[in-house]
Structure formats: structure tokens, C-alpha cells
Amino acid sequence: MDDGVPGGFWLDESIQVAKWLEAEGSVDALELTAGSSLLNPMYLFRGDAPVREFADTFKQPLKLGIRLVGDKFIREYPYEEAYLLGSARQFRAALDLPLVLLGGVTERATMDRAMAEGFQFVAMGRALLREPDLINRIQADASTTSLCIHCNKCMPTIFSKTHCVLA
């Protein structure tokens, strides 16, 4: 939906591109996400910024450099449930295309709210890394909440075997 960096895409531009895709009829649905790049790596992933863990995935001297100055360019963004919903609503208002809500979906109430607001799907990532059976648990008990603490320490594991380091 937006890249979160100067010179990147912003909502108004992304909505226009989405309208073109919808008019072309070449996509079945759009997953609404936000940018994540070397210029702003934590923009998509709200919560803690695991600078030390990222550094540990590199060899020296890059490892030392990231440990020393990584917190200067790896910004933290506060986590909140459904943190991309506000931006996603603008796409929902502009399009008829099926949309997938992403970004901090960990509770049944959020899923129900997304469906009630016209989103056809929700995407879950980190919460399912922590608890692969979370969907079954939520289905059995709607008050179930995820054990994911949004520490983002799973993110550096993408360079090896993606997993929750707390599970």
C-alpha cells in the first residue's frame, strides 16, 4: 500500500495501480501489505527491531557494523492489532476486487471485523510461526489470543530456516 520511504509508493499511487489491475482483470485478489526494504526494514513488521539478531546473521565486519549502528537505520514501529487496517480500508472503498488484510491479525475479533468490513481474507504470518495450530485453537475458542509477542526475532531466521525462536 505504501513503501514508507521517500521516493517510494504512497497510498494514492498504490490505489491507482490497484484500480488499473482491477480494470485489466488480470488478478484474482490483492494482498494489502506495506513496504519493507533496506531503506526501512521494519516498516511492515511492527514491534521490536531485533538489531542484534539481524547482525548475527552476517559475517564480520558487517556483523559488528550492524551491532554498532543498526539502531540508527532499523527503526521500530509500535505494534497494534490490525495495524494496516486503516490504510487497507481506503483500498476497500476504492475497489470491488477481493482483498486480503495483512498486518497484525492475531485475534478472532479482528478477523470478524475484517470480514464485516468487506475483506475476503486475512493473512497471518508471525503468529502462525509461533503457533501453527492457532487457527484451530481460535476456531475452538473465539477468545483465544496469539502467544506471539511481536519481538520479530523470527525475521532474521529467514536467512536459514524461518521459525519462531520462542516456540
**Cβ atoms 9, 2 nearer than 8 A:** yes
Over range 114-125, report the average pLDDT. 97
Phi-psi sector, 88: left (phi>0), alpha (psi -120 to 50), beta = alpha
Over range 130-154, report the average pLDDT. 95
Query: How does residue 36 score in pLDDT terms, banded at 50, 70 and 90?
Result: confident
Helix (H) or strand (E) holding 22: helix 11-24
Instruction: Say what the pLDDT of residue 86 is.
Output: 96
Query: How does residue 139 score in pLDDT terms, banded at 50, 70 and 90?
Result: very high
End-to-end CA distance of the chain: give it in Å, rounded. 31
Residues in a beta bridge with 31:
100
Q: All 3 cell numbers of residue 35?
A: 513496504
- CATH classification of 11-159 is 3.40.50, yes or no? yes
pLDDT digits (tens, 9 = 90+) for 38-95: 778 888 889 999 999 989 999 999 999 999 999 888 888 999 999 999 999 999 999 9
Q: What is the pTM of this model?
A: 0.89
CA distances from 39 to 8, 30, 66, 79 (A): 10, 24, 14, 20
Distant-in-sequence, close-in-space partners of 21: CB < 8 Å, separation ≥ 6: 27, 30, 97
